[in-house]
């Protein structure tokens, strides 16, 4: 990938801040708004924050792991950074767009790279009605919540909720229940990436539900609509020997 300027940003943790100081001394950098490429130092959470934080001024982001899991990050090395950036391979992702309507009728927008999730907020289970492309597919799901995940996010919260791992480029989204009580054996569905999913919360003032998309959280939602945003693209950069498609594929064979 060709570039002229880089910006280096870091999470607040000591390891990330130490790496930021060291790399800033070795390489010429500019502010994020002026850069062609952003180097993000931290964990997966900071990578998602960096991508969503630059969504209006879209720039490719190359992450180096100075956090914990680092699934979306490359290995941290101080040497040959410019060469690694030039050889990095892009992974373009269209995020999910959430439109959440709360119990007052107000609408809230949010973008999510991994998933949009609904979660109950009281001692009582949530009750959700599910529509796909305007057609009711489930009249009542009694559960702790539900989520819609992208392929890139399918190895995150989706896997914890026993959802399927989806290869990049599969062209599908995962609709996964969280602790479903009724229907007890329903494990979710795979949907075309063009699908629009609408969750209607049954008794939303009593069985209160929150919705999250990335760093946007909306309380006491009555309806949540989710669709892939084809007009928005975020670009992650990976070392050729450790690309995102291969990482997700390997996740299916972990013990």
- Return the number of other C-beta atoms located less than 10 Å from residue 125's C-beta: 17
Distances (CA, A) of 174 to 96, 160, 192, 225: 12, 13, 9, 15
- Give which of 59, 68, 74 is closest to 244, Cα–Cα: 74
- Is 44 catalytic? The answer is yes
Geometric angle at alpha carbon 118, from 117 and 123, rounded to 5°: 140
Tally the C-alpha atoms within 13 A of residue 249's C-alpha that lie toward its C-beta.
8
Alpha helices in the chain (DSSP H): 14-26, 44-53, 81-87, 157-160, 244-251
- Give which of 126, 139, 37 is closest to 88, Cα–Cα: 37
Catalytic entry in 44, 80, 144, 231:
44
For the beta sheet containing 196-201, the strands, ordered from the edge strand earlier in sequence to the opposite edge, are: 107-112, 96-102, 221-228, 196-201, 126-132, 135-143
Active site residues: 44
């Amino acid at each position: 990938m060709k570039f002229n300027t880089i910006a280096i940003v870091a999470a607040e943790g000591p390891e990330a801040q130490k790496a930021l100081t060291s790399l800033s001394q070795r390489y010429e950098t500019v502010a994020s708004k002026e850069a062609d490429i952003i180097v993000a130092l931290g964990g997966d959470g900071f990578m998602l924050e960096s991508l969503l934080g630059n969504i209006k001024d879209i720039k490719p982001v190359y992450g180096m792991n100075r956090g914990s899991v680092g699934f979306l990050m490359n290995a941290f090395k101080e040497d040959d950074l410019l060469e690694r950036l030039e050889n990095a391979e892009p992974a373009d992702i269209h995020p999910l767009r959430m439109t959440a309507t709360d119990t007052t009728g107000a609408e809230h927008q949010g973008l999510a790279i991994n998933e949009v999730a609904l979660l109950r907020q009281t001692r009582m289970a949530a009750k959700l009605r599910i529509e796909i492309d305007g057609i009711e597919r489930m009249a009542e799901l009694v559960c702790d919540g539900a989520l819609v995940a992208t392929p890139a996010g399918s190895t995150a919260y989706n896997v914890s909720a026993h959802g399927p791992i989806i290869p990049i480029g599969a062209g599908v989204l995962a609709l996964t229940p969280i602790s479903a009580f009724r229907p007890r054996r329903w494990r979710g569905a795979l949907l075309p990436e063009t699908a629009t999913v609408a969750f209607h919360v049954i008794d939303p003032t009593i069985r209160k539900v929150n919705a999250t998309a990335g760093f946007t959280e909306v309380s006491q939602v009555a309806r949540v609509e989710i669709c892939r945003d084809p007009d928005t693209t975020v670009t992650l950069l990976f070392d050729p020997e450790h690309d995102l498609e291969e990482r997700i594929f390997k996740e299916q064979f972990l013990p």
